[in-house]
Amino acid sequence: MKAEAGFLEARPWPAQRLAWTALAILALANVLSYLDRIVINLLVEPIQRDLAINDTQFGLLQGVAFGLFYTAMALPIGRLVDNGPRKPIIAIGVAVFSLFTLASGLARTFGQMFVARIGVGAGEASVVPTAYSIISDMFPPERLGRAMSVFTMTAFVGIGLAYIAGGVAIAAVAAWDAPGFLGELAPWRRTFLLVAAPGLLVAVLLMTVLKEPERRGGRDAAKIPMREVAAHLAGQRRALVLVFAGFSMITMSGYASTVWTPALFIRAYGWSAGEIGVAYGALYLVLGPAGALLAGWLCDRMTARGVREAPLKVAAWGYLGTALFGGLAPLMPTGELALAVFAPAMLMATMPYPMAGTAIQLVTPNRMRGQVSALYMLVINLVGLGAGPLVVGVFNDALFTGPEGVRYSLAWVNAVAAPVAFVLLWAAFRPYRDLRRET
């Protein structure tokens, strides 16, 4: 396994400039994937009004619809990533999610919007497994934590930009006297068309500029049969089950907050979509990358000192405080106080995400990285993306009814998820440490 994983090979790693250029292009694709995914959260009210849907149905759009093909496509895409050129996979994926974002703006019924969000999820499913595989072939283990943190932090940049640019775009589009066909579209529909366009350009950039790195496990390595992948996973199940479960709880809370926080401020505090977009987006732009980079820096320092389970320790301890701040923030009496309490929660909530990718890559052979990463994405999104937004929507409609009910739904999800995630990751420390000794 050591030779196959490629951690100790004599071949030189790619030059730093080449590695960081590839990382920058992949990061741009990741930013756009979150921009297309998140902007819908600012458009809850007009979408619900025009399509005549309730909170549960909106939760289905962001949870089941998006997550359905995002998870269903994960394993076949992971298999493609491990057994062929990776550049076309991510380029086609970016083009697909951009086209279906455009389709979201043209949907006339709940069913059409449901199908469009499925398409967005299917395209975005290519980004993370492909990027993880490429980055792991670009950076040595002692630098992988920071590289993964830089890539992962762009998710929070994308979320921040989605809120800020989305809020600004909504106001600008509403005031724009558009000609012809565009003038007949509602502002929320034009917003989807606007955010879809950059992805088509980035898809071209991925095909023409991104360089396919040499696989660290060897260019001529044979394709690994599925039974060997299954055997590898079975051999690591003591650690991976706990790791996947812990990060699933983190993802559930994260998606619930990302999807429903704009509705919280609009319904409970009377803010406009533009106001919460700019304010909440600014927090994400500053604290999201800060949390991810802090996690990568801590992880690499601990790894250099011989702490083999460093990624899991940083994730578990870093996220624990989210239970307190994330649980209290929705209950604050004013929007300004809520933002202030959300700030430390956001810093801590973003720390685990780069650690998940780092932890998995460090114990996975090269020719299995795409598939194991895809399985990880499948599991965390079935739980997190499938359940997080939907649970809050169901709570809003069935338990905490009324315009301000969303604050109690969010508070409960955040307060419960963080301690459960900590216990699961803490239990994974020892079996994961044993796996690192073997690689």
CA dist 39 and 56 (Å) reads 18
- More confident: 425 or 274: 425
Report whether 44 contacts 266 (CB < 8 A).
Answer: yes
CA trace torsion 399, 405, 406, 412 (10° rounding): -60
Sorting pLDDT into bands at 50, 70 and 90, what band is 155? confident
- Please enumerate in sequence order all residues whose Cβ is within 8 A of that of 254, keeping only pairs 6 or more positions apart, or say none: 349, 384, 388
Task: Output the six-digit token pair for 148.
Answer: 């993964």
Nearest to 235 by CA among 9, 83, 439, 8: 439
pLDDT of residue 222: 56
Q: Count CB-CB contacts under 10 A for residue 20.
A: 16
Sorting pLDDT into bands at 50, 70 and 90, what band is 171? low
> Token pair 């998870």 is at which residue?
71
Q: For all residues of the chain together, what is the average pLDDT?
A: 83
**Per mean pLDDT, which range of 161-165, 205-209, 333-337, 390-394 is the poorest?**
161-165
Encode pLDDT of 9-52 as tens digits. Answer: 445 566 677 777 888 888 889 888 887 777 787 787 788 888 98
Encode pLDDT of 374-390 as tens digits. Answer: 788 788 877 877 777 78
pTM recorded for the entire structure: 0.69
pLDDT of residue 435: 83
In the chain, what percentage of residues exceed pLDDT 90?
A: 20
Report whether 375 contacts 71 (CB < 8 A).
Answer: no
Q: Is the pLDDT of residue 98 over 70?
A: yes
C-alpha distances (whole Å) from 41 to each of 36, 175, 320 are 10, 20, 26
Report whether 287 contacts 177 (CB < 8 A).
Answer: no
pLDDT of residue 428: 93
Task: Output the six-digit token pair for 199.
Answer: 């992805």
Average pLDDT over every residue of 232-252 = 89
Strand residues in 212-309 grouped as ranges (E): none
Tell me if residue 43 falls in helix, strand or coil. Answer: helix
Query: What is the Cα 90 distance to its own chain's centre?
Result: 15
- Please enumerate in sequence order all residues whose Cβ is within 8 A of that of 12, keeping only pairs 6 or more positions apart, or say none: none
